[in-house]
Amino acid sequence: MVIKTDHLTKQFKGNGGFVDISLSVKEGEVFSFLGKNGAGKSTFVRTLLGILHPESGKGEILGKPIGDIGTRKNIGYLPELFQYHNWLTGYELLWNHGLLYKMNKKDIKNRIEEVLIMVGLKGHEHKKIKEYSKGMKQRIGLGSAILPNPKILFLDEPTSALDPIGRKDVRDIILKLKNQGKTIFLNTHLLSEVELVSDRVAIIDRGRMKKVGTMEELLHSPVQLLVGNLNEKIIHELKKMDQNIKKIGNEIEMHVKDDEVLPQIAKFIVENNGLLYNMKKKENLLEELFIQTVGEGE
Ligand SMILES: Nc1ncnc2c1ncn2[C@@H]1O[C@H](COP(=O)(O)OP(=O)(O)OP(=O)(O)O)[C@@H](O)[C@H]1O
Ligand SMILES: [Mg+2]
């Protein structure tokens, strides 16, 4: 495991922060932390990085306890609302970042060229950061995070300042990094970001982890059928696959163990004189799940 926490807790004077979070992130995984404002996402990441000290519980990164100095060279971090050094050019910022990571100058030079292309800032590197747009600032921040070619990246809302094209660009960069074998821990409140790039997602609400799993595990999307001539025989057979099928008029909603059974269902309905008008997987459920999960108890 690249990241592992065991009942990790950090609270600020008894409130805020996060409580009792146990999770593991595997090598090469994109793991998303999804939660609304104030849920505790940034506090969790800052605790993993050793910037904040946990009150109780344990955490490990690359097999070393959190806060371990030697591990830091393998970690890239894009903080949220990062205060940029406005008087520097983008190039100078990356250069200084490389020096902080104790990279040698030749490596920094070569790596800066790669990074500028990757984050789409080639040609803008000699402008002062104060002349950058918000989106360009976010890109140079991402560039700093990936500069040392770290094994793990913590990205705290990497697309919050970007327009839809910029968001897509960052998603593509995340997928490229994933293909290079990097492990990525992503904080976000954007459902689309989670759906499009994550292998697994944890939903965090008021400091507590409510759900964790792959999209498939969490959503387990039901199948919706629209059937004319619906008869008892059809219902009886469908109930063998899912005892809890929901039936409203001609519409049926049910869970199946995998998509392989869908053709069987269609065949069965037709053979029993049913008229199959529509069969589809319910979509857009992450939003529903999220609202249900974080809305509990409010
Ligand atoms: N340094 C601090 N001192 C006191 N309370 C804090 C501190 N940092 C965060 N908190 C509180 O902890 C809770 C979680 O904050 P955090 O910044 O981790 O949330 P978040 O999920 O990252 O939110 P956002 O989406 O707005 O970035 C909030 O209630 C916040 O007010
Ligand atoms: Mg935050």
Contact indicator for 46, 8 with CB cutoff of 8 Å = no
pLDDT of 87: 93
* Average pLDDT estimate for 104-111: 96
* Top mutation candidate among 8, 12, 189 for ligand 1, by most atoms within 8 Å of CB: 12
Three-state DSSP state, 3: strand
pLDDT of 296: 58
Between residues 2 and 283, the one the model is more confident about: 2
Q: Where along the chain do the CATH 3.30.70 domains lie?
A: 222-282
How do the residues of the chain divide into helix, strand and coil, expressed in percent and rounded to 5?
40, 30, 35
Residue 54: closest CA among 205, 204, 156, 207: 207
Which residue's alpha carbon is nearest to atom 29 within ligand 1?
Answer: 16
Which CATH number is 3-218's, of 3.50.50.60, 3.30.1050.10, 3.40.50.300, 1.20.1740.10? 3.40.50.300
Question: What are the Cα distances from residue 27, in Å, to 119, 145, 146, 147, 260?
Answer: 23, 18, 17, 19, 30
Give 201 Cα–ligand 2 centroid separation in angstroms: 16
* pTM for the model: 0.84
Q: Which H or E run contains 10? A: strand 3-12
Q: Is 79 in the pocket of ligand 1 (CB under 6 A)?
A: no
Give 78 Cα–ligand 2 centroid separation in angstroms: 11
Taking each helix axis as running N to C, give the angle between helix 134-146 and helix 164-179, from 0 to 180 degrees, rounded to the nearest 10. Answer: 10
Q: Is 208 in the pocket of ligand 1 (CB under 6 A)?
A: no
Between residues 217 and 33, the one the model is more confident about: 33
* Average pLDDT estimate for 255-282: 91
Which residue's alpha carbon is nearest to atom 16 within ligand 1?
Answer: 40
| Residue 262 CA, distance from chain mean position | 30
For residue 13, give the ligand nearest its CA.
1
Q: Which atom of ligand 1 is nearest to the CA of 40?
A: 18
* Average pLDDT estimate for 277-294: 84
pLDDT of 298: 53
What does the DSSP 8-state code read for residue 120? T
Q: Where along the chain do the CATH 3.40.50.300 domains lie?
A: 3-218
Report the length, in residues, of the chain.
Answer: 298
Tokens of 79: 């903080």
Which CATH number is 222-282's, of 3.90.320, 3.60.90, 3.30.70, 3.40.50? 3.30.70
Give 42 Cα–ligand 1 centroid separation in angstroms: 7
